[in-house]
Copies of this chain bind each other. A is one copy, B any other.
Amino acid sequence: MKKELVTLKKIAQILDLSTSTVSRALNDHPDISEATTKKVKQLAQSLNYVPNIFAKGFRKHRSNIIGVIVPNITHYFTTTMVRGILEEAAIKGYRVIISESNNDVLKQTEMLNTMMQFGVDGILASLTKMTRDIDNILPILNKVPLILFDKVSNKIPCTQITINDEEAAYNAIEHLINIGKKRIAIIKEREFSYTSEKRFSGYLKALKDHDIEIDEKIIISVDDISLIQGKRMANHLLSIKKRPDAIFAITDSAAIGVIQTLKKFNINIPEDIAVVGFSNSSHSTIIEPKLTTVDQPGEKIGKNAVKYLIEEIESTTDILTNKMIEIKGNLIIRDSTFKV
């Protein structure tokens, strides 16, 4: 599988120059005369010269590789973020290595270490659900820039990029209030999750601002915010005395479970009970009625994550940056809350 390699040395020999000069010419060093530079570049091109990335990386202590860790790559929203990451990284001349933690904290730590060892220039991570044990992550910060996106944790002192969960949830609830709903349930995560808490506080705030009583009975926490749990919790909410007239599920999958259950009991959506999700997953337009939800601009999040990361990689200062960046998500109103 070996090929006769074209190296700087070879080019230098042909042109009767030194490898130093050839190297400099190829890198547009100002010291080299235009004529030489041109000559070198031409030959390099015609010989199809490609620099040996390893020699280069070895020399410069730079890999131009970004490591990305996500809990689950099969989630649509995740793929849109990954797409943004790939695009932006390509533009900036970086390659992207991806790993999936499968929501396993141990695996996540292992992957962070492998990536470090592999010489990535920086890491972009979306954390597993129960990343309580920050101890495994903190050491990374001293070695390589780390930026968290989507599933973040304010316990880790680094730049974090999310969507404006609180505000978006607030808007979603306000929309429900505007269409006349007065008893709005929420299905959120039990485990501490930055995202879930933010959405919950948006919920609380909106209710308070509109003087709507907060009722613990319709604040539902689940371990695993899935379609199945959505179904289960909808069943539960239907069984309580004072039924809600709207359900806000903090993920689309749970919201879809809710809709499926409501339909099973022939409850009119949105007249009897309106439903709102979060994510604008591709399912949200397949389910009937189509789901009102918050569109999360995944690509934008991905692109921004790369931008901030490269900024840190290429920065000369060693100061730990600790920005909180919020990308705006928009409420998309569909039939599950408002029929035309």
Q: Chain A residues in contact with chain B, CB under 8 A?
A: 1-3, 50-55, 57-58, 61, 63, 65, 73-74, 76, 79-80, 82-83, 86-87, 90, 95-100, 114, 116-119, 142-145, 256, 282-283, 286-288, 313, 318
Other A-B pairs, 13, CB within 8 Å; known A53-B118, A53-B119: A3-B143, A50-B117, A52-B58, A54-B63, A73-B82, A73-B83, A82-B98, A86-B98, A86-B100, A87-B100, A95-B97, A282-B283, A283-B286
Cα–Cα, bound, A76→B74 (Å): 6
Pick the contact of A80 from B74, B82, B116, B282 — CB < 8 Å? Answer: B74
Cα–Cα, bound, A2→B143 (Å): 7
Residues of B within 8 A of A282 (CB): 283
Residues of B within 8 A of A79 (CB): 73-74, 79
Evaluate whether A286 and B99 lie within 8 angstroms (CB atoms) in the complex, with A55-B58, A83-B73 already known.
Answer: no
- A100–B83 CB distance below 8 A: yes
* 9 closest Cβ pairs, A-B complex: A54-B58, A74-B79, A54-B57, A50-B117, A286-B286, A53-B119, A58-B58, A283-B286, A95-B97
Cα–Cα, bound, A87→B119 (Å): 20
- A86–B63 CB distance below 8 A: no
Report how many copies the assembly holds.
2
Residues of B within 8 A of A65 (CB): 97
Residues of B within 8 A of A74 (CB): 76, 79-80, 83
Residues of B within 8 A of A95 (CB): 97, 114, 118
Cα–Cα, bound, A90→B80 (Å): 23
Which of A58, A117, A286 counts the most chain B CB atoms within 10 A? A286
Cα–Cα, bound, A21→B116 (Å): 25
Cα–Cα, bound, A197→B34 (Å): 55
A281 to B, closest residue via Cβ:
B282
A73 to B, closest residue via Cβ:
B79
Shortest distance in angstroms between A95's beta carbon and chain B's nearest beta carbon? 5
A67 to B, closest residue via Cβ:
B95
